[in-house]
Structure 1
Amino acid sequence: MPQPPAAAIIKHTNPCGVALADSIATAYEKAFHADPVSAFGGIVALNRPIDAPTATVLTQTFLECVVAPGCNPDAERILQGKSKLRVLSLPDLNQGFPHTVKAIAGGLLVQARDDQRTDPTEWRVVTERQPTPAQLEELLFAWKVAKHVKSNAIVVTRDRTTLGVGAGQMNRVGSVKLALDQAGEKAKGATLASDGFFPFDDSVRRAAAAGIIAIAQPGGSVKDQDSIQAANELNLVMVFTDMRHFLH
C-alpha cells in the first residue's frame, strides 16, 4: 500500500512536528503547527516531490534545509527566493547505511540500524477495551514517530499529527510530562506511544488524567500487570508491540 504524503520537521536530531495528510503541502502545514516555535530553523523531510503550493508554505518561515525526493520547476523558482535555504533531492529516502557509528573514547561504537518493520497485526491488545480501526491506525502513526525520538521517548498524536514529544529524558515520567504539557488540552481523545515499557503504572495514570484514550508500548516490564490493571480501571486501550525502540 502506498504511503500517504508525510512531513517531518527535525530539530537537534529529534522530530518536533510530524504529520500525514492528503497532500504534501497540508502535511507540512500540520507538522509545522504541531510546534511552530521549535520548527524555526529546522530541517524538513518530505516523502513527496516539492510542488509550488508546498514551496510557498516552506518559504514562510526560516528553515535550514529541506530534503525531498524531488522538486518541480515551479517550486524551484519559488525556493530560489530563499538564498540561505538548502534543498536536497534524494530520490530514495529509504536508502541508508545498515549501521550507525558514534565516536567514543578510544574508538568507535558501531550499532545495527533500527530497521525493524512494524506490523500491527502482531501487536497484542492487553486491555478489556479493544481499539477501533481508527485508533489502531493512530497508534501505528504514533509508534512510528516514537522510533525516531531520543529515548526515553513519548509521543502524543491525534489526526495523524504529533501534539507533544518528550525526548531524551533521564526517566520516562519526565518524558510523559513534557509530551502531555506540550499537547495541553489537545491531549483529550489523543493517543500516546512509548518507545520503552512502563516500569510502573504512574505514566498510564498521568496519561489518562490528561485525556489520552489509547496507548502503545512494548511491554516487558515485571510490573506490566500494574499498567494493564490501571488501563482497565481507567477504560483505556493499551497494546503491547513486543518490540522496543531505543535511540541514543
Structure 2
Amino acid sequence: MGFNPDTLTADALTPVEEFHIGGRGATEALLELLALTEDSHFLDIGCGTGGTARFAAAKYGCKVTGVDLSANYVEVGKTVSHWLGLTSKVHLECRSILDSGLEDGAMDGAWMFHAGMNIPGKESLFAEVHRILKPGSAFLVYDVMRPAEADATLTYPLPWASSEDISHLETLDTYVTGLEAAGFAIEAQGIRLDIADSFFDKVEAAEGAAGAPLHLGIVMGADAREKTANLLAAYRRGQVAPGMVLARKADDNMETSQ
C-alpha cells in the first residue's frame, strides 16, 4: 500500500482495525455517548488489535487500557500503537476481563464492542466491570444480540465463533437485567438497526468485488468470507442484531444524599 512504519496512518488500517458491525462509523457514533477527555482513563474490553482504543486516544486524548484473550491480536496491536506514536496513551494486555488485575475503582469508564458474545455468565462480567469502575462512571456495551422472538439456530462459523459451543448470544433484556443486577443504572438502550442496515448493505454490495489490500480475512482467518456470509444471512433472517446499552455506576454522593 506504499506505507512504512514512519508514514502509516490510523485511517489506512480502518478496514482491519474495528471489526464490529458498523466499523469506524459505529465507533465514532457510539463513543460520542461517553465523556472522554484528556484526563480520563477508559477500559476497552475485548480490544482486539486496539483499533477502537487508538481511535479514542487520538481523537479525545484519553488513556485506554485494552484487554483481550487473543495473544496475536494484542502483540500486533502493540506494534501498531508504536508505529502510530500512541504507546503512552494505549496499553494492551493479553488477559481476561474476569482476571484483569485492575484495582477497585481504577477506571473512569469502560466500553465493550462485540466481545460479550464469547463470555458465558455475563453476571460475573458485569459485576467485575462494576468493581473496576469509579463511582459515576459509564459502561457502554455494543454487542451482537439475539432478538427475543428469533430462532436461535444459527449457521456457523460466525465472526465471533466457529461453533455453537463458544457462542453465547443473549437478548437485550438479558443484558439490561444483568447490568442492573450488578448495580448499574441504565441510561439508554436499543437495537441499532440504523447502524446495521447501512453496514450490511455495503457488505452485500461488496460480495464478489475485487479484494482490497487490507481486508477482514487478515484478522478473521481463511474462512472470513464464510463467516461474513453467515452473519449477513442471520441478520437478514432477523436472528441477530447489534444492541447497545449505556449504563452508569451510581455516584457515591448520589447514594449518600438519597
TM-score (norm. length: structure 2): 0.34
Higher helix share: 2
Higher strand share: 1
Q: Which has the higher contact order (CA 8 A, sep 6+)?
A: 2
